[in-house]
Amino acid sequence: MSVTLEQEAEIRRLYFAEHWPVGTVSAQLHHHPEVVRRVLGLDTPRQSPAERLLLVEPYKDFIAQTLKKYPTLRATRLFDMVKPRGYPGKVRTLRAYVATVRPRPPREAYLRVSTLPGEQAQVDWAHVGKVRVPGGERPLWAFVIVLSWSRAMWGEFIFDLSVHALRRSLARAAEYFGGNTRQWLFDNPKTVVLERHGDAVRFHPRLLDASSHYCVSLRLCTVRKPNQKGRVERAIRYVRERFLEGAATTIGTRNVRRTVCWWAENAVKHGPGAGHRRGRCEAEVSGSVSKTKRWARAGRAGGGRRRHRCCTRPFDEAGQRCPRQCRRG
């Protein structure tokens, strides 16, 4: 922007004589601050990127050694370390250099796992909010089970994560699908695993009792590897985004009943990929999964422990267990 001699004289007078700041002169005379600094001789030539990187040159070895030992160290912390050592540049220059030399973590390779029909079901829970009850609130959880081959999904809302609640949910899932798969894939919660050291696992005895009842084997994911049960993780994400997102964190009992009805009518029928997987879901549920129901009957008939029918039913509204005379075996 060109400035006349009269304007230059006025800028110099206001700055040196009246002691106006550069910002005030720029606002009053309607000139850009860079123009005012140029007229006053206060502008400094900008360094090129190559010239700015030359400032970091004497400290490259120190930065490389530090990042090798602490790969996630922040550039601002490195700036605090090199500043007392004579670094004349700014933190922005150092940050740009650190971004080019910071060690990249090794990328993990993932293997796509495919299962046979009726082979595996993935199980997981998700905290979805709280329910108002007389005298306080109770946490509300979603139990979700997904058939790995067809992505057929079933779920329900529960109030606790005990092994008894897990057994009831698995029993209702078996009733919904008409049987069970050959495997149940879990994460590593205390409800499922009491102790684990590498591949040596001690399962909860109540869960082992249920797996023996249904003739199903138990399988665990590797610790801190949720990608190994990605199908149920995606189903939980669908439930959160499709219905629970934006809802109140604390809901009443009537809303819980409405949520259960919605789950039964929509979430199970129209889950992720339900449009093109509906045929596969019907084929897996009517074919491979139902076989395990006959196998379970054969296992009980072959000398397995018998159980009264009410021992696999959900508890009543008051949370009371079955009578002692009904719990046989």
Count how many domains the chain has.
3
Q: Check whether residue 53 and residue 139 sit in a common domain.
A: no
Q: Check whether residue 69 and residue 200 sit in a common domain.
A: no
Q: Check whether residue 161 and residue 95 sit in a common domain.
A: no
pLDDT at res. 131: 85
CA distance 60 to 49: 16
Q: Check whether residue 180 and residue 313 sit in a common domain.
A: yes
CA distance 218 to 161: 18
CA distance 45 to 42: 10
The verdict on residue 150 lying in a domain is yes
Q: What is the pLDDT of residues 169-178, one digit of tens each?
A: 999 999 888 8
The verdict on residue 109 lying in a domain is no
CA distance 218 to 210: 10
The verdict on residue 106 lying in a domain is no
Q: Check whether residue 272 and residue 178 sit in a common domain.
A: yes
The verdict on residue 110 lying in a domain is no
Q: Check whether residue 182 and residue 292 sit in a common domain.
A: yes
Q: What is the pLDDT of residues 290-325, one digit of tens each?
A: 554 444 443 343 333 444 443 444 333 333 444 444
Q: What is the number of other CB atoms lying within 10 angstroms of the CB of residue 2?
A: 5
| Selection from 239, 282, 285, 281 nearest residue 264 by Cα | 239
Beta strand spans in the chain (E):
120-133, 136-147, 153-158, 183-186, 193-197, 200-203, 217-220, 250-251
Q: Check whether residue 127 and residue 275 sit in a common domain.
A: yes
CA distance 171 to 313: 7
| Selection from 84, 31, 27, 29 nearest residue 59 by Cα | 84
Q: What is the pLDDT of residues 37-78, one digit of tens each?
A: 888 888 766 656 666 677 888 999 999 999 999 999 999 999
Domain CATH code at residue 269: 3.30.420.10
Q: Check whether residue 193 and residue 282 sit in a common domain.
A: yes
CA distance 34 to 126: 57
The verdict on residue 289 lying in a domain is yes
Q: Check whether residue 59 and residue 9 sit in a common domain.
A: no
Q: Check whether residue 212 and residue 138 sit in a common domain.
A: yes
Q: Check whether residue 233 and residue 314 sit in a common domain.
A: yes
With contact defined as beta carbons under 8 Å apart, do 26 and 32 qualify? yes
Residue 53: enclosing H or E segment and its boundaries? helix 49-54
The verdict on residue 154 lying in a domain is yes
Res. 126 pLDDT band, cuts 50 70 90 = very high
Number of helices (H) and strands (E), helices first, in the chain? 13, 8
The verdict on residue 111 lying in a domain is no
Q: What is the pLDDT of residues 127-165, one digit of tens each?
A: 988 888 888 899 989 899 999 998 888 888 888 999 999
Res. 259 pLDDT band, cuts 50 70 90 = low
User: What percent of the chain is helix, strand and coil (3-state, nearest 5)?
Assistant: 50, 15, 35
CA distance 210 to 195: 18
The verdict on residue 160 lying in a domain is yes
Domain that holds residue 76: 49-101
What average pLDDT score do residues 20-49 get? 83
CA distance 169 to 141: 12
Q: Check whether residue 12 and residue 153 sit in a common domain.
A: no
